[in-house]
Structures are given as structure tokens and as C-alpha cells.
Amino acid sequence: MHVSEVIGSPDSRLRITLFGTFRVQLDGGREIDITGKRARAVLAILCLTPGVALERTQLCELLWHGRFQAQARASLRQTLLGLKKQLAPCQPDLFVITRESVAVNPACITSDLAELEATLAAHGNPRACELLLEIGAKALLARLDFGEAFEHWLSTRRAQVEQRLKHAVDAALSGLQQGGDEQEYRRLLEAWQLRAPDAAVSDDEARIRIGIVPFQTLGADDASAYITQGLFDELVTTLAQVPQLLVAGRGTPLVAARVDKPLVALARELRVAYLVLGSIQHQGDEVRVHVSLLDGDTGLERWSYGCRGTTADIFALQDDIARAVRHELASALNLDLTDPLPRRTTPSKSAYELYLQGRALTMRAIGDGVMARAVELLEAAVAMDPGFAEGWTALAEAHACTAVYTPCLDRLEQSARMAACARKAIELAPDQGHARAILGIHCWTENNPRGALDLAHEAYRLEPDNPEVVLRLGSFLLYIGRTREALPYIEAAIDLDPVNGRNVAMLCVARLNLGEIEEAMVAGQRMVDLGLPSMWLAVATAASGNHALAVEQYRQTRLLMNTVIFPPAGTKPLRGPALRAYWQMAAKGVCSGGPVHRAVYCALLDYLHTSLPDPCDTSIVAPAIWMGHSKLVFKTLGTQITPANMYCLMSLWADIEPIRKTRLHPDFLPFAKHIGLVAAWEKYGWPDLLPAPTPQPSNA
């Protein structure tokens, strides 16, 4: 039965979130905390179909299953009375209640589901993409559990909603295709693909998550280490191409393996159901390999495999092991695994060994001479085999890491070399998504973020399960202020690579930009736990109002000097009292909230800008943004964006004091136009915090 009576002002409707955790918000964004687990469930069930009355007996069966009917009806009656009392001040006419049924007045609420379906029906509405990206892969009415009857009802409703959405998306895509709007067609298709290929189930249910732990090397020579690295690389790459599997990214197990912890705890941290691990023994030309599949919940072995080979035919050995692991995974997990596409690599064993050595150093990144040696090894690899596309991509990545993680004074030259290597990789293998994402970095140095996003979207189309590619697309959207659109990609990158601190740093900033301060602090603490600087955590803590704690958190960054971060290029590192005094001044300037402390640190940044060899160094740009030092932001990023300082752009989009001063400065839009942001906005949508300009009427 539909409720025909419409009461209430649409301007004061409650905003209901049905995807993910159920939430109720006022029109201004303030959340209403509905007290009681079953009260939240009653309201959620009714809001799923506003205007449609549900029988009281059905609600009792779903939420009070197993109780006597009279007791269940009395509990429902008390729950409804409590809901009416709590919500009456903001929506007195929310419920339509009879002796036998209950409904919510559709004029009193709006929901993410209703808005999504409405925007999809209006073909070409860019808001549809934004809503799909906000929803991501979240399940409808997640985290509600009231037993088997409720679960059966909810799974049916989820399937119905996903089927409706699929038809609506198909119709919208068809309309966009017929209208020739390729840009919106591509954006909507990517947003839908990000939701989930099998939309009726969550991503974790649709794909089995596995983590590959670097094998134990039973040998002290360098050759054993490179054989181990090569096998790990082959397993990750091969299994990542299997659609039914979701494999933890290359960086994840490498970082996690450094931590001495039980395998069950490791699986929990990586959020994987299974772990693949083993050992390699190298004696002379003979190689012995042992591989095991472990259940992530119990740590028990599900399957093991051993084989032998020789270093003379190491590629065949790697292929055999990868094939065996894939076959046994299919058998152990009762899956019909799709065979991966053949990979392009190099026939040269020597080039491949140099490539593995160079990549291993690139993953380390930090350390005296580490990146210079990585570049040297990778250059030797592609010199041996100029057709080695993955070698060129790895070399491009090494140049990028050199520009970002070392105190070099030739960052633009490194960026140009990076771009040349990426173009070579794409020329040799047009399906190289990672190379396109790296090439996008160079576009930023040329004030071409629009081109960077073009490349990032194409990279994502080619390699949607590569965490490096996914994060680059999310970060580029974050840099242009499209935080809501960026967030699902950042979360997807974390899902693929859960213990990569860089991914979590992006999440911290995204949450801060969205005004979700507590969530930003949680992400910031996680980032610190993974060994990254605590500055973003401190900025989030300062935004919460706890300035004393924020100052201390920011000051702790000094402990990572010369280990994770370096002093500005061309300068000698500070030590002892000088180091402590500098970080004390910086911490108070950014986090104390005191105008005097801020003015003192801003004055120091002005001096550094005129005296440092690199006047656009990150150590100047980032605190200038956090302190709202607008003129210095315009002087630095407006002069030159580099691979090192480009990430600072993401911090411009927090609507908190004093960061918002730069965005509200009268020179901000000319600055944005100068560095190419306006061109990117005109194609990909204006920032969350900046309304699109009103078109000027024509004189005709």
C-alpha cells in the first residue's frame, strides 16, 4: 500500500544514507544518533521503500524473530514511540502508522539510493557519477544482523536494488552513447565498474583475497635473493590477472614481511583470506622451491608443492611454479580460474636480473645512493634489451622516486627522464597502464593536470587492479579538489595495498578535506604506525581543537629526519639543539593556533624561499598551505610544480582555518588558471568547495 498523503517541507527533509552504515542527517549535515539497534533497523527498513507500508507482523518477524507475537508487537510499538519522540522536533510527520502497518512519509526524507536513481534517470547528469563514486562498493544496509530471516530478506532486497541500478546504468550509458557524450559515458562506466562487477554482492564476497609473502631464501648469495624476488614478482603479476582473485599489491607483503608477527595476524592486517608463502634453496645451478597455501583465519596449511629446476632456465621455472600455484588454488578453493594473458618480459636472463635488483632498490627508495644505484641497474637492463617494456616502466618509476624521495636539485630533469622512459614503455607495450600513470606526473610539472587526468583514467581502464594506478587516479582527483570523487579510488588502492603508508596518507587528507576530522585522525595515526611522518595527523588533530597534542605530534616528525625524510635539497641536515628548535617553531606555527607562532614560522618560510637552492621545496610549500600563507603558496606552486611538491596540492581543499584562506584569496582563481586547474575543472568537474561559474548570457 502506498501512502498518498504528502506532508512536510521538502526543504527540511532528513538525509538518509542506505549504502554502508545507516545514517540519518539533518538538512545542514548534522547527524542524528538514533538510539537502539532495532530502532535504527526499523527506520532503515522503512526508508528503503518510502511511502510503502510494511505490515507490523513482517517487521516483528524480521527484527524480533523467535519471540511470542504479543511480546514482539509490544516491542515494535515501544520502538516506534521512541523513534517518533526522537525525530518529532525535526520531522513531526515522518511516520504514517496504522494498527496493522507502518510507513515513512516520502516527502520527509531523501536518500542516497533515491538520489542516485533519479540522477541516473536524467541521462547525462554528472551527479550520477559522483553518487556512484561516493557509494563505491558499499553494501546496502551494511552491519545490520538480526538472524537468518532478516539476512534472507536483506539479501533479496539487495539483489532487487542492484538489478534496478544495473538497468538504470545501462539505460544511462545507452543514452550517453547515442548522444555522443564520450567523456560522461567513460566516467559513468568507470564509476559503475568501481562499485562492483557483481553488484549484488560485496567486493570481498565476489573475489577471493590472497596475499603473497616473499619467500624465505635459504642461501646467502645475491643470486638466491634475485631468484626469490623474481618468483615473488611472477606470482603477484600472474595471479593478479585472474579475475576471481584479488591479490595484495607488490608493496604490501614486502612491508608486512619486515614485521615479526604470526601468519594469522599478518593475514588479518592484509585483510586476505589466504597466504601463499614458501622457500627457495639455491645450490650451484640447482634451485629447489617449496610453496604452501595457508588459511588466513586458522594458519593451517591447505596445500603444498615442491619442485626443482636450474638457474639456466629460471624463466621456465617461474612459469611452472606460477602455473602450479594457480592450478592448486583452483583445486583447493573449488574455483574455475581463468587463465591469465601471456606477459611481455625479456628473454635476457642478465637483463631480468638487473631489472629485479633495480626494482628492489626502488622499493627501498630511502638511503644514501640507493636510487642512483637503482637507476644505474635499470639503465643497464634496458641497454641489454631495449625492447624490455617493463624495464622501461621500472626505470621511469626509479626517476620518479629520485625526484620525490631524494634531496636532488635536478627534479625537473629527473621528471623529463621519467617521461621519456614512460613513453618508451608505452611505445613497446600499449597496454602499459602503470607507465601512463607515471607519465601523468610529468604533465603536472607542465601545468597540465587535465592531461594528467586523461592519462590516469586511461591507465585505470588498462590496469584497474594495480594499486599504483588506482592511487594515482585518486590522488590526481584529490589534487584538483574533487575529493568525493577521489575517495573511492583511494579506498580501493588501500584495499589492494593495505599497509602502504602513502595510500593511507591520501586517505587522511581526503577525510580531512571532507570535514571528517575523527576519521582523518584515525587514518593519520595508521599512517604514523606504518612509519610515515606525523604532520598530517597533527594537522587533523589541530582541526579537532586539541592544539597541544597536535604540536607534540608534529614535533615528532624530527625523529624521522634522514631516515624517511630529508632536509631541503642543497642544504646540510640540522642536528642537536638546532634541529629541536626548528621543529618546535614549525610545530607551533602549524598547529598551535596562535597567530604569533604562525607569523614567526611564516617569516622563516619567506626567508627560506629566498635562500634555499630550491625555492619551491616541499618543506616550504606544505606548511605554507597549512598556515594559509597564500602569497607564498602562489609564489612556489605558481612558479614550478615538481614531482616532489605536487602532492601538496591535495591539502588546499580542507575547509578549515587557516587552510581555507588560500582558496578564498582573490588571487586564487588566477593562480588556478595559471597552473592548469581551471582547464581540468572544465573537463572533469569543479571542486567540491568551488561552485561552477554561471554561464554568461549571450549578446546575440
Higher pLDDT, 682 or 152: 682
SS3 618: helix
**Predicted pLDDT at 285:** 75
Instruction: Give the pLDDT mean for 199-221.
Output: 62
Q: Of the CATH numbers 3.40.50.10070, 3.20.20.70, 3.40.50.970, 3.30.70.20, which one belongs to the domain with range 207-343?
A: 3.40.50.10070
Question: What residues pair up with 210 in beta bridges, in sequence order?
Answer: 247, 274
What residues contact 649, with CB distance under 8 A and at least 6 apart? 478, 479, 480, 637, 641
Percent of residues, the chain, with pLDDT higher than 90:
36
Q: At what angle do helices 148-179 and 182-195 cross, to 10 degrees?
A: 170
pLDDT band at 690 (very low <50, low <70, confident <90, very high): confident
* Span of 177-181, 343-347, 401-405, 579-583 with lowest mean pLDDT: 343-347
Q: Give the model confidence (pLDDT) of 423-471 as tens digits.
A: 999 999 998 899 999 999 999 999 999 999 999 999 988 888 788 999 9
Q: How far lies 506's CA from each of 126, 502, 663, 664, 679, in Å?
A: 24, 7, 20, 23, 23
Does residue 267 contact residue 297 with C-beta atoms inside 8 Å?
yes
Percent of residues, the chain, with pLDDT higher than 70:
89
CATH architecture designation of domain 431-684: Alpha Horseshoe (1.25)
Q: Please state, in angstroms and rounded to a whole number, the distance separating the CA atoms of residues 400 and 438.
A: 8
pLDDT band at 219 (very low <50, low <70, confident <90, very high): low
* Span of 251-260, 272-281, 340-349, 559-568 with lowest mean pLDDT: 251-260
Exposed, middle or buried: residue 506 (CB in 10 Å: 0-12, 13-18, 19+)? buried
**Predicted pLDDT at 213:** 81
Instruction: Give the pLDDT mean for 331-350.
Output: 69
Question: What residues pair up with 529 in beta bridges, in sequence order?
Answer: none
- 284, HSE (Cβ side, Cα atoms, 13 Å): 2
Q: Please state, in angstroms and rounded to a whole number, the distance separating the CA atoms of residues 597 and 577.
A: 19
Does residue 377 contact residue 354 with C-beta atoms inside 8 Å?
yes
**Predicted pLDDT at 491:** 87
pLDDT at 201 over 70: no
* Span of 157-171, 321-335, 493-507 with lowest mean pLDDT: 321-335
Q: Give the model confidence (pLDDT) of 605-637 as tens digits.
A: 999 999 999 999 999 999 999 999 999 999 999
Exposed, middle or buried: residue 325 (CB in 10 Å: 0-12, 13-18, 19+)? buried
Instruction: Give the pLDDT mean for 667-689.
Output: 93
Helices (H) and strands (E) in the chain, counts: 31, 13
Q: Please state, in angstroms and rounded to a whole number, the distance separating the CA atoms of residues 25 and 15.
A: 5
Does residue 269 contact residue 301 with C-beta atoms inside 8 Å?
no
**Predicted pLDDT at 124:** 65
pLDDT at 520 over 90: yes
**Predicted pLDDT at 197:** 46
Main-chain phi, psi angles of 82, to 5 degrees: -65, -40
Q: Give the model confidence (pLDDT) of 277-321 as tens digits.
A: 888 887 777 878 888 888 887 888 888 878 777 767 777 777 777
pLDDT at 1 over 50: no
Q: Give the model confidence (pLDDT) of 158-195 as tens digits.
A: 877 887 888 788 878 878 877 777 778 878 887 887 77
590 sits in which H/E element: helix 576-591
Q: What is the mean pLDDT of the chain?
A: 84
SS3 401: helix
Q: Give the model confidence (pLDDT) of 632-656 as tens digits.
A: 999 999 999 999 999 999 999 999 9
The domain limits of the chain are 1-202, 207-343, 431-684
**Predicted pLDDT at 200:** 34
Higher pLDDT, 253 or 540: 540
Higher pLDDT, 65 or 411: 411
Q: Please state, in angstroms and rounded to a whole number, the distance separating the CA atoms of residues 553 and 537.
A: 7
pLDDT at 675 over 80: yes
> Which CATH number is 1-202 given?
1.10.10.10
Q: Give the model confidence (pLDDT) of 5-55 as tens digits.
A: 333 444 478 899 998 888 898 877 788 888 888 898 999 999 988 888 888
Higher pLDDT, 515 or 144: 515
Q: Please state, in angstroms and rounded to a whole number, the distance separating the CA atoms of residues 402 and 619.
A: 17
Q: Please state, in angstroms and rounded to a whole number, the distance separating the CA atoms of residues 146 and 65.
A: 8
Amino acid letter for position 3: V
